[in-house]
A and B are shown apart, each in its own frame.
Chain A
Amino acid sequence: MDKKEKVKEKGEWTKLKLDNNTITGYTVPIGPFHPALLEGEFFKLKVDGERVVDADIKLGYNYRGIMKLAESRSYWRDLYLVERVCGICSHAHTTCYTRTVEMLGKIEVPDRARFIRTLVAELERIHSHLLWAGIGMELIGFRTLFMYIWREREHVLDVLEMISGNRQHYAMNTIGGVRRDVQKDMIPKIMKKISEMKKSLMKLVEVVVRDPIIRNRTVNVGKLDKDIARKICVVGPVARSVGIKIDVRKDDPYAAYEEVPFDIVTAEDGDVFSMVEVRLREVIESVKICEYCLDVLTRIGGDIRTEISEFPVNEAVGRVEAPRGELMYYIVSNGTHIPERVRIRTPSYMNDYAILFMLKDQALADAPIIIAAVDPCMACTDRMIHIEDAKSDKKEIISVYELSKRYRRKEK
Protein backbone atom coordinates (compact mmCIF):
# COMPACT_ATOMS: atom_id res chain seq x y z
CA MET A 1 0.00 0.00 0.00
CA ASP A 2 1.55 3.30 -0.99
CA LYS A 3 1.42 6.40 1.13
CA LYS A 4 -1.43 8.11 -0.70
CA GLU A 5 -3.80 5.17 -0.26
CA LYS A 6 -2.87 4.94 3.39
CA VAL A 7 -3.79 8.59 3.87
CA LYS A 8 -7.06 8.01 2.06
CA GLU A 9 -7.89 5.10 4.29
CA LYS A 10 -7.22 7.00 7.50
CA GLY A 11 -8.91 10.17 6.32
CA GLU A 12 -7.30 13.52 5.69
CA TRP A 13 -5.26 14.74 8.59
CA THR A 14 -4.73 18.43 9.07
CA LYS A 15 -1.16 19.16 10.00
CA LEU A 16 -0.10 20.75 13.24
CA LYS A 17 0.02 24.50 13.12
CA LEU A 18 3.78 24.46 13.23
CA ASP A 19 6.40 25.45 10.74
CA ASN A 20 8.31 22.32 9.83
CA ASN A 21 11.24 24.30 8.41
CA THR A 22 12.14 26.11 11.60
CA ILE A 23 11.59 23.27 14.04
CA THR A 24 13.53 20.11 13.44
CA GLY A 25 12.78 16.95 15.29
CA TYR A 26 10.07 14.49 16.07
CA THR A 27 6.35 14.62 16.53
CA VAL A 28 5.23 12.35 19.34
CA PRO A 29 1.55 11.44 19.18
CA ILE A 30 -0.04 10.26 22.44
CA GLY A 31 -3.47 8.68 22.38
CA PRO A 32 -6.26 8.55 21.35
CA PHE A 33 -7.91 5.68 23.26
CA HIS A 34 -9.54 6.87 26.39
CA PRO A 35 -12.08 5.50 28.84
CA ALA A 36 -14.14 8.53 29.88
CA LEU A 37 -16.81 10.55 28.12
CA LEU A 38 -16.14 13.96 26.68
CA GLU A 39 -12.41 13.93 26.90
CA GLY A 40 -11.13 11.23 24.59
CA GLU A 41 -7.81 12.79 23.86
CA PHE A 42 -5.02 12.61 21.33
CA PHE A 43 -1.90 14.64 22.00
CA LYS A 44 0.69 15.56 19.42
CA LEU A 45 3.91 16.76 20.94
CA LYS A 46 6.50 18.46 18.77
CA VAL A 47 9.91 17.78 20.29
CA ASP A 48 13.29 19.30 19.69
CA GLY A 49 15.75 16.84 21.18
CA GLU A 50 14.34 16.06 24.60
CA ARG A 51 12.33 19.25 24.99
CA VAL A 52 8.71 19.68 24.04
CA VAL A 53 8.45 22.71 21.75
CA ASP A 54 4.75 22.73 21.06
CA ALA A 55 1.71 20.61 21.75
CA ASP A 56 -1.61 20.04 20.09
CA ILE A 57 -4.71 18.19 21.25
CA LYS A 58 -7.64 16.51 19.49
CA LEU A 59 -10.80 15.43 21.29
CA GLY A 60 -13.80 13.41 20.26
CA TYR A 61 -12.52 9.85 20.03
CA ASN A 62 -15.06 8.65 22.52
CA TYR A 63 -17.88 11.10 21.91
CA ARG A 64 -21.12 9.37 22.84
CA GLY A 65 -23.63 12.17 22.31
CA ILE A 66 -24.99 12.01 25.86
CA MET A 67 -26.31 15.58 25.66
CA LYS A 68 -28.44 14.71 22.63
CA LEU A 69 -29.55 11.40 24.15
CA ALA A 70 -30.68 13.18 27.31
CA GLU A 71 -33.06 15.33 25.26
CA SER A 72 -35.02 12.29 24.14
CA ARG A 73 -35.56 10.66 27.55
CA SER A 74 -37.67 11.57 30.54
CA TYR A 75 -36.15 13.25 33.60
CA TRP A 76 -36.19 9.97 35.51
CA ARG A 77 -34.44 7.99 32.80
CA ASP A 78 -31.85 10.76 32.33
CA LEU A 79 -30.80 10.11 35.91
CA TYR A 80 -29.42 6.72 34.91
CA LEU A 81 -27.86 8.16 31.77
CA VAL A 82 -25.92 10.98 33.41
CA GLU A 83 -24.62 8.63 36.08
CA ARG A 84 -22.76 6.85 33.30
CA VAL A 85 -21.06 9.96 31.94
CA CYS A 86 -18.05 9.19 34.12
CA GLY A 87 -17.12 6.05 36.02
CA ILE A 88 -15.12 7.81 38.70
CA CYS A 89 -17.27 10.84 39.49
CA SER A 90 -20.69 9.28 38.87
CA HIS A 91 -22.16 10.73 42.07
CA ALA A 92 -21.04 14.27 41.15
CA HIS A 93 -22.91 14.02 37.85
CA THR A 94 -26.17 12.86 39.42
CA THR A 95 -25.85 15.45 42.20
CA CYS A 96 -25.45 18.19 39.63
CA TYR A 97 -28.29 16.86 37.46
CA THR A 98 -30.71 16.49 40.37
CA ARG A 99 -29.73 19.90 41.72
CA THR A 100 -30.49 21.53 38.37
CA VAL A 101 -33.81 19.70 38.00
CA GLU A 102 -34.72 20.65 41.57
CA MET A 103 -33.97 24.28 40.69
CA LEU A 104 -36.26 23.98 37.66
CA GLY A 105 -39.16 22.75 39.75
CA LYS A 106 -38.18 24.70 42.93
CA ILE A 107 -38.11 21.49 44.93
CA GLU A 108 -36.85 21.45 48.53
CA VAL A 109 -34.74 18.46 49.52
CA PRO A 110 -35.10 17.03 53.06
CA ASP A 111 -32.21 17.65 55.49
CA ARG A 112 -31.28 14.02 55.91
CA ALA A 113 -31.04 13.55 52.14
CA ARG A 114 -28.77 16.60 51.83
CA PHE A 115 -26.33 15.20 54.38
CA ILE A 116 -26.33 11.75 52.75
CA ARG A 117 -25.54 13.40 49.41
CA THR A 118 -22.66 15.30 50.97
CA LEU A 119 -21.31 12.17 52.67
CA VAL A 120 -21.27 10.12 49.47
CA ALA A 121 -19.84 13.04 47.46
CA GLU A 122 -16.92 13.38 49.88
CA LEU A 123 -16.26 9.65 49.98
CA GLU A 124 -16.19 9.76 46.20
CA ARG A 125 -13.73 12.66 46.27
CA ILE A 126 -11.42 10.68 48.57
CA HIS A 127 -11.51 7.66 46.29
CA SER A 128 -10.98 9.75 43.15
CA HIS A 129 -8.06 11.73 44.57
CA LEU A 130 -6.39 8.61 45.95
CA LEU A 131 -6.83 6.84 42.62
CA TRP A 132 -5.14 9.78 40.92
CA ALA A 133 -2.33 9.98 43.50
CA GLY A 134 -1.61 6.28 43.04
CA ILE A 135 -1.43 6.55 39.26
CA GLY A 136 0.69 9.69 39.50
CA MET A 137 3.17 8.04 41.85
CA GLU A 138 3.40 5.05 39.56
CA LEU A 139 4.10 7.26 36.55
CA ILE A 140 7.16 8.71 38.26
CA GLY A 141 8.30 5.24 39.23
CA PHE A 142 7.22 5.01 42.87
CA ARG A 143 5.47 1.66 42.83
CA THR A 144 5.50 1.04 46.56
CA LEU A 145 3.61 4.22 47.26
CA PHE A 146 1.14 3.35 44.51
CA MET A 147 0.30 0.10 46.34
CA TYR A 148 0.18 1.92 49.65
CA ILE A 149 -2.22 4.58 48.40
CA TRP A 150 -4.50 2.12 46.66
CA ARG A 151 -4.76 0.03 49.80
CA GLU A 152 -6.27 3.07 51.52
CA ARG A 153 -8.56 3.62 48.55
CA GLU A 154 -9.87 0.09 48.97
CA HIS A 155 -11.19 1.03 52.44
CA VAL A 156 -13.18 3.93 50.93
CA LEU A 157 -14.67 1.62 48.33
CA ASP A 158 -15.66 -0.76 51.13
CA VAL A 159 -17.49 2.06 52.89
CA LEU A 160 -19.22 3.09 49.66
CA GLU A 161 -20.25 -0.52 49.06
CA MET A 162 -21.62 -0.69 52.59
CA ILE A 163 -23.73 2.45 52.00
CA SER A 164 -24.93 1.96 48.45
CA GLY A 165 -24.30 -1.68 47.57
CA ASN A 166 -21.90 -0.80 44.78
CA ARG A 167 -18.23 0.11 44.50
CA GLN A 168 -18.94 2.44 41.58
CA HIS A 169 -22.21 3.89 40.21
CA TYR A 170 -23.77 4.27 43.63
CA ALA A 171 -27.19 5.30 42.27
CA MET A 172 -27.87 7.18 45.50
CA ASN A 173 -29.45 10.32 44.07
CA THR A 174 -32.95 10.77 42.83
CA ILE A 175 -34.89 13.90 41.99
CA GLY A 176 -36.00 15.35 45.31
CA GLY A 177 -33.77 13.30 47.62
CA VAL A 178 -31.81 10.08 47.85
CA ARG A 179 -32.84 6.48 47.18
CA ARG A 180 -31.24 4.77 50.16
CA ASP A 181 -30.92 5.73 53.78
CA VAL A 182 -27.72 5.31 55.77
CA GLN A 183 -28.80 2.84 58.47
CA LYS A 184 -28.21 3.87 62.08
CA ASP A 185 -26.31 0.66 62.95
CA MET A 186 -24.04 1.20 59.95
CA ILE A 187 -22.71 4.55 61.17
CA PRO A 188 -20.35 3.31 63.96
CA LYS A 189 -18.77 0.83 61.52
CA ILE A 190 -18.17 3.57 58.95
CA MET A 191 -16.85 5.89 61.67
CA LYS A 192 -14.34 3.27 62.78
CA LYS A 193 -13.12 2.67 59.25
CA ILE A 194 -12.82 6.36 58.46
CA SER A 195 -10.90 7.21 61.65
CA GLU A 196 -8.43 4.37 60.95
CA MET A 197 -8.07 5.66 57.41
CA LYS A 198 -7.51 9.22 58.60
CA LYS A 199 -4.45 8.22 60.63
CA SER A 200 -2.72 6.44 57.77
CA LEU A 201 -3.70 9.18 55.29
CA MET A 202 -2.09 11.86 57.49
CA LYS A 203 1.10 9.81 57.53
CA LEU A 204 0.89 9.31 53.78
CA VAL A 205 0.58 13.02 53.04
CA GLU A 206 3.68 13.72 55.12
CA VAL A 207 5.59 11.00 53.25
CA VAL A 208 4.61 12.32 49.83
CA VAL A 209 5.25 15.98 50.63
CA ARG A 210 8.68 15.40 52.19
CA ASP A 211 10.05 12.64 50.00
CA PRO A 212 13.14 13.87 48.08
CA ILE A 213 12.52 11.54 45.11
CA ILE A 214 9.01 12.86 44.55
CA ARG A 215 10.18 16.44 45.00
CA ASN A 216 12.94 15.93 42.41
CA ARG A 217 10.51 14.69 39.81
CA THR A 218 7.68 17.16 40.42
CA VAL A 219 8.90 20.50 41.81
CA ASN A 220 9.09 23.14 39.05
CA VAL A 221 7.82 20.62 36.48
CA GLY A 222 4.93 21.63 34.24
CA LYS A 223 4.46 25.06 35.76
CA LEU A 224 1.16 26.73 34.96
CA ASP A 225 1.25 30.51 34.92
CA LYS A 226 -1.37 32.15 37.13
CA ASP A 227 -2.45 34.69 34.51
CA ILE A 228 -2.85 32.00 31.85
CA ALA A 229 -4.76 29.86 34.33
CA ARG A 230 -7.14 32.76 34.96
CA LYS A 231 -7.60 33.38 31.24
CA ILE A 232 -8.43 29.77 30.35
CA CYS A 233 -10.62 29.45 33.46
CA VAL A 234 -9.15 26.28 34.93
CA VAL A 235 -11.23 24.73 37.69
CA GLY A 236 -10.91 22.56 40.76
CA PRO A 237 -7.59 21.38 42.22
CA VAL A 238 -5.68 22.73 39.19
CA ALA A 239 -6.97 26.25 39.83
CA ARG A 240 -6.35 25.95 43.56
CA SER A 241 -2.78 24.78 42.98
CA VAL A 242 -1.92 28.04 41.20
CA GLY A 243 -3.45 30.07 44.00
CA ILE A 244 -6.89 30.85 42.55
CA LYS A 245 -9.19 30.32 45.48
CA ILE A 246 -12.34 28.96 43.87
CA ASP A 247 -14.46 26.10 45.13
CA VAL A 248 -18.10 25.60 44.20
CA ARG A 249 -18.74 24.05 47.61
CA LYS A 250 -18.06 27.47 49.21
CA ASP A 251 -18.94 29.86 46.36
CA ASP A 252 -22.24 28.30 45.31
CA PRO A 253 -23.19 25.93 48.14
CA TYR A 254 -25.27 22.87 47.33
CA ALA A 255 -26.37 19.83 49.33
CA ALA A 256 -25.30 20.48 52.95
CA TYR A 257 -22.04 22.32 52.32
CA GLU A 258 -23.38 25.56 53.73
CA GLU A 259 -23.62 23.99 57.18
CA VAL A 260 -20.43 21.91 57.07
CA PRO A 261 -17.20 23.59 58.21
CA PHE A 262 -14.16 22.99 55.99
CA ASP A 263 -11.19 24.84 54.49
CA ILE A 264 -10.26 25.42 50.87
CA VAL A 265 -6.78 24.01 50.28
CA THR A 266 -4.57 26.13 48.03
CA ALA A 267 -0.95 26.20 46.91
CA GLU A 268 1.01 28.90 45.12
CA ASP A 269 3.46 27.39 42.63
CA GLY A 270 1.22 25.71 40.05
CA ASP A 271 3.69 22.93 39.31
CA VAL A 272 2.98 19.22 39.43
CA PHE A 273 4.10 19.06 43.06
CA SER A 274 1.51 21.60 44.21
CA MET A 275 -1.18 19.70 42.30
CA VAL A 276 -0.20 16.54 44.19
CA GLU A 277 -0.10 18.43 47.47
CA VAL A 278 -3.45 20.16 47.00
CA ARG A 279 -5.21 16.89 46.17
CA LEU A 280 -3.76 15.00 49.10
CA ARG A 281 -4.50 17.76 51.62
CA GLU A 282 -8.02 17.95 50.20
CA VAL A 283 -8.45 14.27 51.04
CA ILE A 284 -7.85 15.07 54.72
CA GLU A 285 -10.47 17.86 54.54
CA SER A 286 -12.89 15.42 52.93
CA VAL A 287 -12.38 12.93 55.75
CA LYS A 288 -13.28 15.69 58.23
CA ILE A 289 -16.45 16.53 56.26
CA CYS A 290 -17.40 12.82 56.28
CA GLU A 291 -17.01 12.66 60.06
CA TYR A 292 -19.15 15.77 60.49
CA CYS A 293 -21.87 14.38 58.19
CA LEU A 294 -21.93 11.03 60.01
CA ASP A 295 -22.23 12.86 63.31
CA VAL A 296 -25.22 14.83 62.00
CA LEU A 297 -26.83 11.71 60.52
CA THR A 298 -26.89 10.05 63.95
CA ARG A 299 -28.87 13.01 65.31
CA ILE A 300 -31.39 13.95 62.61
CA GLY A 301 -34.13 11.79 61.18
CA GLY A 302 -37.01 12.33 58.83
CA ASP A 303 -37.77 11.69 55.20
CA ILE A 304 -35.11 11.12 52.59
CA ARG A 305 -37.12 12.17 49.54
CA THR A 306 -39.98 14.42 48.47
CA GLU A 307 -42.60 13.68 45.87
CA ILE A 308 -42.49 15.57 42.59
CA SER A 309 -45.55 16.08 40.46
CA GLU A 310 -44.54 18.30 37.51
CA PHE A 311 -41.72 20.19 35.83
CA PRO A 312 -42.77 23.74 34.83
CA VAL A 313 -41.41 25.72 31.85
CA ASN A 314 -38.14 27.10 33.14
CA GLU A 315 -34.38 27.05 32.79
CA ALA A 316 -31.67 26.48 35.36
CA VAL A 317 -27.92 26.36 35.78
CA GLY A 318 -26.61 23.94 38.38
CA ARG A 319 -23.01 23.69 39.47
CA VAL A 320 -21.22 21.14 41.62
CA GLU A 321 -17.63 20.64 42.73
CA ALA A 322 -16.77 17.25 41.24
CA PRO A 323 -13.43 15.67 42.29
CA ARG A 324 -11.83 17.25 39.20
CA GLY A 325 -13.44 20.66 39.56
CA GLU A 326 -16.52 22.63 38.70
CA LEU A 327 -19.17 20.66 36.84
CA MET A 328 -21.99 22.56 35.15
CA TYR A 329 -25.40 21.48 33.91
CA TYR A 330 -27.75 23.79 32.03
CA ILE A 331 -31.24 22.41 31.56
CA VAL A 332 -34.16 24.02 29.73
CA SER A 333 -37.58 22.50 30.36
CA ASN A 334 -40.68 22.87 28.21
CA GLY A 335 -43.41 21.71 30.55
CA THR A 336 -43.38 18.06 29.48
CA HIS A 337 -41.59 15.18 31.21
CA ILE A 338 -38.73 15.39 28.66
CA PRO A 339 -36.13 18.17 28.91
CA GLU A 340 -35.79 20.53 25.96
CA ARG A 341 -32.05 20.97 26.26
CA VAL A 342 -29.37 19.47 28.49
CA ARG A 343 -25.89 20.99 28.41
CA ILE A 344 -23.08 19.28 30.31
CA ARG A 345 -19.76 21.03 30.87
CA THR A 346 -17.32 18.66 32.52
CA PRO A 347 -14.32 19.91 34.56
CA SER A 348 -11.69 18.11 32.47
CA TYR A 349 -12.95 20.01 29.43
CA MET A 350 -11.58 23.21 30.99
CA ASN A 351 -8.47 21.69 32.54
CA ASP A 352 -7.24 19.79 29.47
CA TYR A 353 -6.62 23.08 27.71
CA ALA A 354 -4.09 23.87 30.46
CA ILE A 355 -2.00 20.80 29.53
CA LEU A 356 -0.94 22.51 26.29
CA PHE A 357 0.49 25.43 28.25
CA MET A 358 2.05 23.21 30.91
CA LEU A 359 3.85 21.01 28.39
CA LYS A 360 5.69 23.82 26.66
CA ASP A 361 9.46 23.81 27.19
CA GLN A 362 9.39 20.72 29.38
CA ALA A 363 11.33 17.47 29.01
CA LEU A 364 9.60 14.67 27.11
CA ALA A 365 10.36 12.48 30.10
CA ASP A 366 8.00 14.62 32.16
CA ALA A 367 5.16 14.50 29.64
CA PRO A 368 3.37 11.48 31.25
CA ILE A 369 3.22 13.07 34.72
CA ILE A 370 2.30 16.53 33.33
CA ILE A 371 -0.58 15.11 31.31
CA ALA A 372 -1.69 13.09 34.33
CA ALA A 373 -1.27 16.06 36.69
CA VAL A 374 -4.54 17.76 35.75
CA ASP A 375 -6.30 14.41 36.29
CA PRO A 376 -7.90 14.33 32.85
CA CYS A 377 -9.80 11.10 33.44
CA MET A 378 -7.25 9.49 31.18
CA ALA A 379 -4.55 7.97 33.33
CA CYS A 380 -6.99 5.20 34.21
CA THR A 381 -6.08 2.98 31.32
CA ASP A 382 -2.94 1.87 29.59
CA ARG A 383 -2.83 3.32 26.12
CA MET A 384 -0.48 3.12 23.17
CA ILE A 385 1.98 5.84 22.32
CA HIS A 386 3.00 6.10 18.70
CA ILE A 387 6.42 7.64 18.10
CA GLU A 388 7.03 8.78 14.57
CA ASP A 389 10.08 10.25 12.89
CA ALA A 390 8.87 12.88 10.46
CA LYS A 391 11.91 12.56 8.21
CA SER A 392 12.76 8.88 7.93
CA ASP A 393 9.24 7.43 8.45
CA LYS A 394 10.59 5.38 11.36
CA LYS A 395 7.75 4.31 13.61
CA GLU A 396 7.55 2.77 17.02
CA ILE A 397 4.54 1.82 19.10
CA ILE A 398 4.94 1.60 22.85
CA SER A 399 2.58 1.77 25.78
CA VAL A 400 2.35 4.61 28.29
CA TYR A 401 3.70 2.23 30.90
CA GLU A 402 6.78 1.51 28.81
CA LEU A 403 7.35 5.19 28.09
CA SER A 404 7.14 5.99 31.77
CA LYS A 405 9.48 3.04 32.50
CA ARG A 406 11.95 4.28 29.96
CA TYR A 407 11.97 7.69 31.61
CA ARG A 408 11.89 6.62 35.25
CA ARG A 409 15.32 8.08 35.64
CA LYS A 410 15.47 11.50 34.14
CA GLU A 411 18.78 12.45 32.57
CA LYS A 412 19.83 15.97 33.29
Chain B
Amino acid sequence: MSIADEIREKLRETLKDDYLDEKSDEYNRFYIRTHPNRIRETVKLLVDEFDGRLISISANDLGFEGFDLVYHFDFSHKEKSLHIAIKVRIPRSNPSIDSVADIAWSANWAERELMDLMGIKFVGHPDPRRLFLPYAWPSEEVA
Protein backbone atom coordinates (compact mmCIF):
# COMPACT_ATOMS: atom_id res chain seq x y z
CA MET B 1 0.00 0.00 0.00
CA SER B 2 1.39 3.36 -0.95
CA ILE B 3 1.72 6.14 1.59
CA ALA B 4 -1.04 8.12 -0.13
CA ASP B 5 -3.51 5.25 0.39
CA GLU B 6 -2.35 4.80 3.97
CA ILE B 7 -2.93 8.45 4.80
CA ARG B 8 -6.35 8.52 3.14
CA GLU B 9 -7.38 5.34 4.92
CA LYS B 10 -6.34 6.77 8.28
CA LEU B 11 -8.08 10.08 7.60
CA ARG B 12 -11.28 8.29 6.63
CA GLU B 13 -11.10 6.28 9.83
CA THR B 14 -10.66 9.28 12.12
CA LEU B 15 -12.91 11.80 10.36
CA LYS B 16 -15.75 9.34 9.51
CA ASP B 17 -18.72 11.48 8.36
CA ASP B 18 -16.62 14.62 8.21
CA TYR B 19 -14.55 13.16 5.36
CA LEU B 20 -16.66 15.12 2.92
CA ASP B 21 -15.04 14.93 -0.49
CA GLU B 22 -11.94 13.69 -2.25
CA LYS B 23 -10.34 14.63 -5.54
CA SER B 24 -7.11 13.57 -7.15
CA ASP B 25 -5.24 14.04 -10.40
CA GLU B 26 -2.55 12.19 -12.33
CA TYR B 27 0.26 14.25 -10.79
CA ASN B 28 -0.23 12.52 -7.38
CA ARG B 29 -2.03 15.51 -5.86
CA PHE B 30 -4.98 14.88 -3.52
CA TYR B 31 -7.59 17.40 -2.42
CA ILE B 32 -9.58 16.31 0.64
CA ARG B 33 -12.43 18.32 2.07
CA THR B 34 -13.39 18.20 5.74
CA HIS B 35 -15.30 20.15 8.35
CA PRO B 36 -13.59 23.23 9.95
CA ASN B 37 -14.14 21.80 13.46
CA ARG B 38 -11.89 18.83 12.67
CA ILE B 39 -8.92 20.81 11.34
CA ARG B 40 -6.74 20.57 14.46
CA GLU B 41 -7.20 16.82 14.62
CA THR B 42 -6.40 16.42 10.93
CA VAL B 43 -3.28 18.58 11.03
CA LYS B 44 -2.04 16.81 14.16
CA LEU B 45 -2.48 13.46 12.48
CA LEU B 46 -0.67 14.45 9.30
CA VAL B 47 2.20 16.25 11.04
CA ASP B 48 2.84 13.94 13.97
CA GLU B 49 2.08 10.52 12.54
CA PHE B 50 2.97 10.88 8.89
CA ASP B 51 5.76 13.47 9.14
CA GLY B 52 4.01 15.84 6.73
CA ARG B 53 5.41 19.26 6.00
CA LEU B 54 2.76 21.98 6.21
CA ILE B 55 4.23 24.17 3.50
CA SER B 56 1.51 26.77 3.14
CA ILE B 57 -2.06 27.79 3.84
CA SER B 58 -4.01 29.57 1.12
CA ALA B 59 -7.46 31.08 1.15
CA ASN B 60 -9.87 31.36 -1.76
CA ASP B 61 -12.45 34.11 -1.52
CA LEU B 62 -15.68 32.62 -2.90
CA GLY B 63 -17.89 35.66 -2.42
CA PHE B 64 -21.21 34.89 -0.70
CA GLU B 65 -20.27 31.26 -0.16
CA GLY B 66 -17.45 32.17 2.22
CA PHE B 67 -13.78 31.24 2.17
CA ASP B 68 -12.05 28.04 1.19
CA LEU B 69 -8.96 27.45 3.32
CA VAL B 70 -6.44 25.09 1.76
CA TYR B 71 -3.76 23.51 3.98
CA HIS B 72 -0.95 22.27 1.73
CA PHE B 73 0.88 19.21 3.02
CA ASP B 74 3.96 17.95 1.26
CA PHE B 75 4.93 14.27 1.52
CA SER B 76 7.26 14.17 -1.45
CA HIS B 77 10.22 13.29 0.77
CA LYS B 78 8.41 10.00 1.45
CA GLU B 79 6.61 9.29 -1.81
CA LYS B 80 7.35 10.85 -5.16
CA SER B 81 5.33 14.01 -5.91
CA LEU B 82 2.79 13.29 -3.17
CA HIS B 83 0.97 16.43 -2.12
CA ILE B 84 -2.18 16.43 0.00
CA ALA B 85 -4.32 19.54 0.35
CA ILE B 86 -6.88 19.67 3.15
CA LYS B 87 -9.76 21.99 2.32
CA VAL B 88 -12.26 23.52 4.70
CA ARG B 89 -14.98 26.07 4.04
CA ILE B 90 -15.77 28.78 6.55
CA PRO B 91 -18.77 31.12 6.31
CA ARG B 92 -18.40 34.78 5.37
CA SER B 93 -20.56 35.93 8.29
CA ASN B 94 -18.13 34.47 10.81
CA PRO B 95 -14.75 33.86 9.16
CA SER B 96 -12.94 32.17 12.04
CA ILE B 97 -11.21 28.84 12.54
CA ASP B 98 -8.99 27.22 15.17
CA SER B 99 -5.32 28.02 14.85
CA VAL B 100 -2.90 25.18 14.17
CA ALA B 101 0.26 27.21 14.77
CA ASP B 102 1.08 25.37 17.99
CA ILE B 103 0.94 21.98 16.23
CA ALA B 104 2.76 22.94 13.04
CA TRP B 105 5.10 25.88 13.61
CA SER B 106 5.26 26.63 9.93
CA ALA B 107 1.60 27.66 10.07
CA ASN B 108 2.54 30.61 12.27
CA TRP B 109 3.38 33.08 9.51
CA ALA B 110 0.88 31.66 7.03
CA GLU B 111 -1.96 32.31 9.49
CA ARG B 112 -0.69 35.78 10.33
CA GLU B 113 -0.59 36.54 6.62
CA LEU B 114 -4.18 35.41 6.09
CA MET B 115 -5.32 37.43 9.11
CA ASP B 116 -3.78 40.48 7.43
CA LEU B 117 -4.83 39.98 3.85
CA MET B 118 -8.15 38.11 4.03
CA GLY B 119 -9.50 39.12 7.45
CA ILE B 120 -9.83 35.54 8.68
CA LYS B 121 -9.63 35.06 12.44
CA PHE B 122 -7.46 32.22 13.73
CA VAL B 123 -8.68 31.50 17.25
CA GLY B 124 -5.92 30.69 19.71
CA HIS B 125 -2.98 31.90 17.64
CA PRO B 126 0.05 32.33 19.95
CA ASP B 127 1.27 35.55 18.32
CA PRO B 128 -1.59 37.27 16.47
CA ARG B 129 0.25 40.42 15.41
CA ARG B 130 0.29 41.93 11.94
CA LEU B 131 2.83 40.40 9.57
CA PHE B 132 2.59 42.31 6.29
CA LEU B 133 0.45 45.29 7.32
CA PRO B 134 1.78 47.91 9.75
CA TYR B 135 1.15 47.04 13.39
CA ALA B 136 -1.19 50.04 13.72
CA TRP B 137 -3.42 49.01 10.80
CA PRO B 138 -7.09 49.13 11.92
CA SER B 139 -8.84 45.78 12.02
CA GLU B 140 -11.63 45.60 9.49
CA GLU B 141 -14.68 43.41 9.37
CA VAL B 142 -15.08 41.43 6.17
CA ALA B 143 -17.69 43.13 3.98
* Complex: A225 Cα to B33 Cα, angstroms: 34
Name the B residues within 8 Å of A251 (CB-CB): 76-77, 80-81
B70 within 8 A of A: yes
* Complex: A60 Cα to B135 Cα, angstroms: 10
- Expressed in whole angstroms, the minimum distance between the Cβ of B102 and any Cβ of chain A is 11
- Expressed in whole angstroms, the minimum distance between the Cβ of A342 and any Cβ of chain B is 9
- When A and B form their complex, what is the total count of cross-chain residue pairs whose Cβ atoms lie within 8 Å? 88
* Complex: A319 Cα to B55 Cα, angstroms: 11
Chain B residue, CB-CB nearest to A71: B61
Please state if A232 and B106 are interface contacts (CB–CB under 8 Å).
yes
| Residue in B56, B81, B106 whose beta carbon sits within 8 Å of that of A328 in the complex | B56
Chain B residue, CB-CB nearest to A99: B27
Please state if A12 and B132 are interface contacts (CB–CB under 8 Å).
no
Given the contacts A14-B135, A60-B133, A350-B106, A330 and B77 also touching, CB distance less than 8 Å? no
Interface size class of A (residues with CB under 8 A): 35 or more
| Residue in A233, A314, A341, A353 whose beta carbon sits within 8 Å of that of B55 in the complex | A233
Please state if B70 and A350 are interface contacts (CB–CB under 8 Å).
no
Please state if A231 and B72 are interface contacts (CB–CB under 8 Å).
no
Which residues in window 46-104 of A have CB below 8 A to B? 58-60, 63, 103
Name the A residues within 8 Å of B108 (CB-CB): 353
Name the A residues within 8 Å of B60 (CB-CB): 332, 340-341
* Complex: A251 Cα to B83 Cα, angstroms: 11
B127 within 8 A of A: yes
B44 within 8 A of A: no
* Complex: A316 Cα to B24 Cα, angstroms: 10
Chain B residue, CB-CB nearest to A326: B55
B53 within 8 A of A: yes
Please state if B134 and A11 are interface contacts (CB–CB under 8 Å).
yes
- Expressed in whole angstroms, the minimum distance between the Cβ of A355 and any Cβ of chain B is 12
Name the B residues within 8 Å of A317 (CB-CB): 29, 72, 83, 85
Chain B residue, CB-CB nearest to A10: B136
Which residues in window 39-72 of B have CB below 8 A to A? 53-56, 58, 60-61, 70, 72
Please state if A343 and B76 are interface contacts (CB–CB under 8 Å).
no
B7 within 8 A of A: no
User: Could you write out 7 A-B pairs with CB less than 8 Å apart?
Assistant: A59-B132, A106-B26, A314-B25, A330-B58, A332-B60, A341-B58, A343-B58
Shortest Cβ-Cβ A-B pairs, 6 listed: A60-B132, A251-B76, A343-B58, A233-B106, A12-B136, A345-B56
